[in-house]
Amino acid sequence: MQTANLLPLVLVIALVAYGLAYLRSRSVASPLGGIRHLKALPFYYAARAALWCAIPSLLLLGIWAAFEGKVIQDMVMASLPEDMAPTSAGEASLLLSQISNVAAGKLDPGFVPQPIVGAADQLQVLRSQSSEFKTTLVVLIAVLGATFAWTRVQPHINARENVERTLRWIFFVCAAVAILTTIGIVFSVIFETIRFFGKVPVTEFLFGTAWSPQTALRADQVGAEGAFGVIPLFVGTLLISAIALLVSVPIGLLSAVYLSEYASRPARAVVKPMLEMLAGIPTVVYGFFAALTVAPFIRDLAELVGLHASAQSALAAGLVMGIMIIPFVSSLSDDVINAVPQAMRDGSLALGATQSETMKNVIFPAALPGIMGGILLAASRAIGETMIVVMAAGLAANLTANPLESVTTVTVQIVTLLTGDQEFDSAKTLSAFALGMLLFLVTLVLNIVALKIVRKYREQYE
């Protein structure tokens, strides 16, 4: 049976085990005078039966699915005659794909040597055997687990503890998935980064002021030398993020203050969802808003006062990005401002403070850690944002602090490096991973620093 079909089957068995254990616990309890004479409620006996039934068999199923293919392949390859044994990894994969194509009927057996046809037959036999064996074993373990649990439905056995402990592990595994994913991402980037630094020195990457990653594909090509200085990209990123934060932090924060302290209930009910809707607009839409509406407007405006602005500018991208992240700041700040106890407000108001004095002197300091969190989230959104910048700020890696010029960012470069044709042994492609790693480290440091600041200046109420 296929794994996809086995999974529901195991779940059905677990469900049956649940029901049976439940009924049995009740029937065990009734001669004693009710379920209060059991060590645990019937639910726990039933849940334990379901868990003991499902967990071992699902574990087995997972392990089987992970190793099945590899083991069968090795067995098939071993069955080939001596003179056909592959000498290189490439040859082996070619052979394997021939064998599996014959087995799947995609390749006419007449076109390939006889041993391969034999191997294909064996492949099919092994696969069906494995499948049968797997089905039998998984169902057997599920039934055994359920039966064992069923016999353990006894009034003096405390199933509650088993269930609680198992649940704890399940929760732990869920939490671990998130952490492991992060670690996995770091590792996926780190090795390519190290390869990149084998081609380009770290110092050149970190302190170079020119970025033009056009390496030659052939040795005789013109312009073979690429430049991998990351500074223009980081300056571009910081410039755009700074503009975005300059827009979003004041507007977001003050709108949060309005929402939580001044707005009447009906006004709040309308304004808050509207603000949060900004977060739901796809960034591509923001992108063409920036590129087609804001950027030309800025250029015209700049020309009006006698300044030169390029068609794509950091200012346009930053402004629109700022609008995009307003809800991150306002929504989170609103929540933390609301969480400040009413007693604090009353205390301040009763001393004759006005609403804005209360806000500034009492509520704001108390809510600061949470507000910082919101701003940080907004900052990391700004640093990581790509689409708006691609469309509105351009691709030219200019080293400039002038917001009217076009700049590019780290994320945009990663996108351009990794889309289209690429080869994974050129410095051009590998530099994307180094950029990603750097971006990751920078945001990590930003987070740690902010956490430290928040912890130091937190004003704790109770």
Partner 1 sequence: MPEQRTAVVQEDRPAETVIEEGKTVGSPFADDPKFKLRNVEVFYGEQRAIKNVSLDIARNEVIAFIGPSGCGKSTFLRCLNRMNDSIESCRVTGSLTLDDQDIYDPKHDVVELRARVGMVFQKPNPFPKSIYDNVAYGPRIHGLANRKSDLDDIVENSLRKAGLWDEVKDRLDATATGMSGGQQQRLCIARAIAVSPEVVLMDEPCSALDPIATAKVEELIAELSESYTIVIVTHSMQQAARVSHRTAYFHLGHLVEVNETSKVFTSPEHELTESYITGRFG
DSSP state of 383: H
- Any idea what DSSP says for residue 425? T
Q: How far apart are the first and last CA of the chain?
A: 60
Beta bridge partner(s), residue 212: 227
Q: Judge contact between 281 and 324, C-beta under 8 A.
A: yes
Burial level of 138, CB count in 10 A (0-12/13-18/19+)? Answer: buried
Considering Cα of 11, then 13, then 15, then 21, what sign does the dihedral take?
negative
Verify binding: residue 346, partner 1, rule CB under 8 A. yes
Phi, psi of 120 (to 5 degrees): -60, -45
Q: Outline where DSSP puts E strands in 202-253.
A: 211-212, 227-228
CB of 266 to partner 1, least distance (A): 10
Q: Is 343 in the site for partner 1 (CB under 8 A)?
A: yes
113 vs 347 by CB, closer to partner 1:
347
Nearer residue to partner 1 within complex by CB, 423 or 459? 459
Which CB, 103 or 363, lies closer to partner 1?
Answer: 363
Establish if 462 lies at the interface with partner 1 (CB under 8 A). Answer: yes
Give the number of C-alpha atoms closer than 13 A to the C-alpha of residue 325, restricted to the C-beta side. 30
339 near partner 1, judged by CB under 8 A: no
**Stretch 355-394: interaction string toward partner 1, x if CB under 8 A:** --x---xx--xx----------------------------
Select from 74, 164, 300, 459 the one that contacts partner 1 (CB under 8 A): 459
Q: Which helix (H) or strand (E) holds 97?
A: helix 89-104
- Of 191, 262, 297, 461, which lies in the binding site for partner 1, with binding defined by CB under 8 A? 461
What CA–CA distance (Å, rounded) separates 317 from 388? 6
Q: Report whether 399 contacts 232 (CB < 8 A).
A: yes
Residue 5 or 460: the one with the smaller Cβ distance to partner 1 is 460
Stretch that binds partner 1, among 135-143, 239-247, 350-358, 388-396 (CB under 8 A): 350-358
Considering only 22-30, 47-55, 218-226, 353-361, which stretch makes contact with partner 1 by CB under 8 A? Answer: 353-361
User: Which of 193, 260 has the CB closer to partner 1?
Assistant: 260
Spatial separation of the C-alpha atoms in residues 317 and 309, rounded to whole Å: 13
| Residues with Cβ within 8 Å of residue 272, at least 6 apart in sequence | 259, 331, 334
**Residue 342 interacts with partner 1 (CB under 8 A): yes or no:** yes
Smaller CB distance to partner 1: residue 2 or 342? 342
Q: Is 156 helix (H, G, I), strand (E, B) or coil?
A: coil
* Min CB(357)–partner 1 separation in Å: 5
Among residues 139, 178, 179, which one has the least CA distance to residue 57?
A: 139
Per the CB < 8 A criterion, the answer to whether 404 and 307 are in contact is yes
Please report whether residue 454 would count as binding partner 1 according to CB under 8 A.
no
- Please name the residues in contact with 163: beta carbons below 8 A apart, sequence gap of 6 or more: 40, 44, 47, 48, 51
Shortest reach from residue 347's CB to partner 1, in Å: 4
Among 79, 182, 214, 354, binds partner 1 (CB under 8 A): 354
CB of 462 to partner 1, least distance (A): 6
Distances (CA, A) of 15 to 49, 56, 146, 164: 9, 15, 10, 19
Q: Which of 8, 223, 352, 420 binds partner 1 (CB under 8 A)?
A: 352
Residues 216 and 224: beta-carbon distance below 8 Å: yes
What is the per-residue binding string for partner 1 in 230-269, x denoting contact by CB under 8 A? ----------------------------------xx----
Which residues within the stretch 264-293 sit at the binding site for partner 1 (CB under 8 A)?
Answer: 264-265
- Smallest distance, Å, CB 416 to partner 1? 49
Give the number of residues written for the chain: 462
Only one of the segments 117-125, 135-143, 177-185, 342-350 lies at the binding site for partner 1 (rule: CB under 8 A); that segment is: 342-350
CA distance 291 to 421: 26
Residue type, 183: I
Asked whether position 450 contacts partner 1 by CB under 8 A, the answer is no
DSSP code of residue 217: S
Taking the complex as a whole, how short is the minimal distance between the CB of residue 356 and partner 1, in angstroms? 11
Which listed range, 38-46, 151-159, 251-259, 336-344, lies at the site for partner 1 (CB under 8 A)? Answer: 336-344
Nearer to partner 1, 42 or 369 (CB): 369
For the four alpha carbons of 425, 428, 432 and 433, in that order, the dihedral sign comes to: positive
Residue 87, classed as helix, strand or coil, is coil
Q: Using the rule CB under 8 A, give the single segment among 223-231, 354-362, 432-440, 447-455 that binds partner 1.
A: 354-362
Minimum distance of partner 1 from residue 365's CB (angstroms): 7
Regarding 347 and contact with partner 1 (CB under 8 A), the answer is yes
Member of 341, 418, 422, 449 binding partner 1 (CB under 8 A): 341
Binder of partner 1 out of 39, 152, 160, 345 (CB under 8 A): 345
Binding site for partner 1 (CB under 8 A): 264-265, 341-354, 357, 361-362, 365-366, 459-462
